[in-house]
Amino acid sequence: MSPVAIELTDINKYFGNVCANKDVSLKVESGTIHGIIGENGAGKSTLMSILYGFYQADSGAIAVQEKSTRFAVLHDAIDAGIGMVHQHFMLVDTFTVLENVVLGTETGFSLQQSMQKTERELQRLEKDYHLEVDINAVINTLPVGLQQRVEILKALYRGADILVLDEPTGVLTPQEADHLFRILNELREQGKTVILITHKLREIMAITDNVSVMRQGEMVAHRKTSETDREELAELMVGRKVLMQVDKAPAKPGSPMLTVKHLDYIDDFGVPRVKDVSFEVHCGEIVGIAGVSGNGQSELMEVITGIKPFQKGQIQISGQTITSTVRADAATMRRFGMAHVPEDRQRSGLVTSFSANENIILGYHKNPSYNNFIEMDRESIIQSCKKQMDHFDVRPNNPLLRTSLFSGGNQQKLVVARELERDPAFIGGRSTNTWG
């Protein structure tokens, strides 16, 4: 057996009355890729946030490289050789790659000295680990796949021997995900230890050496990846047999629900983002629009849902026609039956400092059922939220809990619950490279 890089013993973590981790124990061997899987809200990200010093465990023990330790702050974990690539990147959008990497590690008599030192080290890391990226590029001009490389470079620059990746392929195209796997294999060959948090069984079977399964805050199984399969792991994740294939009846499209004709959109910098786009979506039909990230899918979705105005063409929905002169904002589009699940739940879908019940009414707060004659009916809102959370299996089912304390997957469920609960005529959503 290889030396143990990480050992967690009987970790417990509560958020109020909510138990996120219960007596969780885990061993990760050095020089391996170790997967941690579980449903949304299973406690995976919380456990790794404890390992990284972002949270402190209420009880339990942590050992790194077989030495008992305790992380009071993030820098303690970084000093111990642990790096983390978060599900939502921790980058300054308006800084360059080089500026993001050097941020917080400045040394010497001048910033210029730090920048020169960092540039030399980045060139070495890029060559050693095949993490090529333009270090002078501004972050918000890079596709998400390259932004993720910057996060990995940041961790390696700070001396990480143990790298934790939280749902790393959630924002990547399949091609970008495959390239990430090649990078992870390279890291393993160079002796690094990788912990991969995911709920995608394909990734677990493709890349990991060992896998641990969490369910409802508890660690329920450990397996060598070569000695298990997708069916067993799926059953361990949910606690019952899982059908890996679903029989579906053929689609029976009806009349057109949404018609887009010759749509043009030019952004605030004068750059054409959508050019002469036309298509139809019929009742009972799912339409996907695919393309490499940055080719106008996000802008198209924002135009269709009324978030951004367009310069040419028309949109027809529910018998209504919208043009560049007869505009409809997002609130109007909702009245026409349009629901919207944005690509970035934290920036566009939720206010994470709000409670779940406050988020569940965003955009629908004028609904009469949420208001009485003088003010908003708080009890009605809470009860509606509790019902929606139960219907869409949002965990924990606590309408008063601050949204930032939910896992990423359960934050997404809150957005989906809000948009689908009202039985919209049309729903648009943006994922990595499609919407439908």
221 and 302 co-located in one domain: no
393 and 297 co-located in one domain: yes
300 and 221 co-located in one domain: no
> Does the pLDDT of residue 89 top 90, yes or no?
no
What percent of the chain shows pLDDT beyond 70? 96
* Among the listed residues 52, 51, 55, the one whose alpha carbon sits nearest the alpha carbon of residue 15: 55
Range of 366's domain? 256-429
Residue 10 sits in a domain of what CATH number? Answer: 3.40.50.300
**What confidence score (pLDDT) does residue 260 get?**
95
Compute the average pLDDT of residues 270-289. 91
AA letter at 234: A
Compute the average pLDDT of residues 363-386. 91
In a domain, 435, yes or no: no
92 and 139 co-located in one domain: yes
**pLDDT band at residue 169 using 50, 70 and 90 as cut-offs:** confident
Compute the average pLDDT of residues 304-310. 92
Classify residue 84 as exposed, middle or buried by CB count within 10 Å of its CB (0-12, 13-18, 19+): buried
Out of 105-119, 317-331, 399-413, least confident range: 105-119
**pLDDT band at residue 1 using 50, 70 and 90 as cut-offs:** low
Q: Which residues contact 34 (CB under 8 A, 6 or more apart)?
A: 28, 193, 194, 195, 196, 208, 209, 210, 211, 212
- The average confidence (pLDDT) of the chain is 89
268 and 181 co-located in one domain: no
State the total domains in the chain. Answer: 2
In a domain, 246, yes or no: no
Q: Which residues contact 337 (CB under 8 A, 6 or more apart)?
A: 317, 318, 424, 425, 426
In a domain, 244, yes or no: no
313 and 224 co-located in one domain: no
In a domain, 158, yes or no: yes
- 215-256 residue pLDDT tens: 999 999 999 999 999 999 999 998 888 776 777 788 888 889
**What confidence score (pLDDT) does residue 68 get?**
93
**pLDDT band at residue 433 using 50, 70 and 90 as cut-offs:** very low
In a domain, 280, yes or no: yes
> Does the pLDDT of residue 357 top 60, yes or no?
yes
218 and 327 co-located in one domain: no
- 109-140 residue pLDDT tens: 677 878 888 899 999 998 888 888 999 999 98
> Does the pLDDT of residue 57 top 90, yes or no?
yes
Q: How far apart are the two ends of the chain, measured CA to CA in Å?
A: 47
Place of tokens 């095949």: 130
Give the span between the Cα atoms of 71 and 79, in whole angstroms.
10
136 and 282 co-located in one domain: no
194 and 297 co-located in one domain: no
**252-to-72, 195, 282 alpha-carbon distances in Å:** 58, 44, 9
- Looking at per-residue confidence, does 415 or 45 come out higher? 415
Give the span between the Cα atoms of 39 and 282, in whole angstroms.
33
Domain boundary among 190, 212, 238: 238
In a domain, 377, yes or no: yes
> Does the pLDDT of residue 434 top 50, yes or no?
no
**What confidence score (pLDDT) does residue 435 get?**
31
